[in-house]
Amino acid sequence: MQGHDDGEPTVRIREVKKDRVNFVLGNVDLAFANSLRRVMMADIPTVAIDMVEIETNTSVLPDEFIAHRLGMVPLVSANCDEAIRYTRDCVCLAGCSFCSMILELKVSCHDDNTMDVTSDHLEVVPFPPDEESADPGEELSKRGEWFGHPVGKHDRNVPPVLITKIRKGQELKIRCIAKKGIAKEHAKFSPCSAVSFEYDPHNKLRHTTYWYETDIKGEWPLSENAKEEEAPRDDEPFNFNAKPNKFYFEVETDGSLGPQEVVMKGLAELQTKLANLILGLKIGGADQIDIMPDDVPVPHVPPPDNAWSGGDPNTWGMHAGSASGGSSSGWSQTSPTRGGAGSQWSNDASWGGATGTAGWASASSPQTNGWKQ
């Protein structure tokens, strides 16, 4: 059951709903399954509110609290790859209709009842003509009817997202700018609310250690996925070479993208990443990487014969100085690889203020280079 098959990867869909999908991925290894999970969560672009301009806020919540809640409201992002640009790829200076969307929130309470301010109060408004980009594009024609609108605004079966509550006399007047991004930049851009997978429900591989008091089977009941696999026998020997190759996925979205679009875009993004990796390895091979040009000469300094010879004047400082045709101190000559001015370390005076043969020599010591016998 846990051994790898030579067949192609398989996908069997067990259940599909409007905001979730349950499927079984087979004939792949654990690394691929986990990579797919991470890509679906963090590398699929969506649209979310990124900037909030608050004109009036007389509610009990501070501006930062409301701005954070607005940023986490999911927006319809179907066909986001082609329907909107990244702001870093647009030629505009401060946002345009090709890379941004404007949403406004204008509500006020005039009766004695508490009013719920929800995502249904957000309205998408067009960009002003003076802020339009001069670069024509096809992004606007590829947007759906409700692209950029809050999820569930036009569906009575989907409850709206509560932003705050206001009482009589309180008001909110807010202008929001929505942009395109991925969850690696901020979690608000993630199209998924949860992505999980399970493998080896009977724990044949012993990747999980269960803590129990008396009965492990009674205290740790099996999941529904255990029905998909054969239960192990009590006398079955442990296979050290077995690897998981069957994974039970559960993908739940926040409504900005459908579950089918999330899985398909996740597979496409993973394929693109692997293709770029292979291309980079081919272009940047070891035989084509030059750390240093061949026409730059590298000077050679011979190593000293007795670098730690105490008071012997033929020490490493002498050899370094003779290699450059300079003085007898290793700290006073010009570096052979730089060709500039002389070093700041002088061989005419020591740190103690007396005359010596090296900057580290003592005024009363007859030895040179500061190394005493």
Q: What is the pLDDT of residues 163-192, one digit of tens each?
A: 999 999 999 999 999 999 999 999 999 999
Higher per-residue pLDDT: 360 or 90: 90
Highest mean pLDDT among 215-224, 304-313, 315-324: 215-224
Residue 332 tokens, joined: 């006073």
Strand ranges (E), the chain: 10-16, 20-26, 46-57, 100-108, 115-118, 122-125, 162-166, 171-181, 192-198, 246-253
Cα distance between residue 357 and residue 11, in whole Å: 80
Question: In terms of DSSP H, where are the helices of 288-353?
Answer: 316-323
Three-state DSSP state, 310: coil
Reply yes or no on whether the pLDDT at 162 is more than 50: yes
Among candidates 85, 48, 84, 53, which has minimal Cα distance to 67? Answer: 53
Q: For residues 330 and 317, is the Cβ–Cβ distance under 8 A?
A: yes
State the pTM of this model: 0.70
The pLDDT assigned to 358 comes to 43
The per-residue pLDDT for range 225-265, each reduced to its tens digit, is 999 998 888 888 888 899 999 999 999 999 999 999 999 99
Domains parsed from the chain with CATH numbers: 10-42+193-229+240-284 (3.30.1360.10), 48-189 (2.170.120.12)
Highest mean pLDDT among 12-26, 129-143, 278-292, 293-307: 12-26
Cα distance between residue 371 and residue 373, in whole Å: 7
Reply yes or no on whether the pLDDT at 371 is more than 60: no
Higher per-residue pLDDT: 319 or 303: 303
Among candidates 238, 209, 228, 204, which has minimal Cα distance to 2? Answer: 204
Q: For residues 25 and 9, is the Cβ–Cβ distance under 8 A?
A: yes
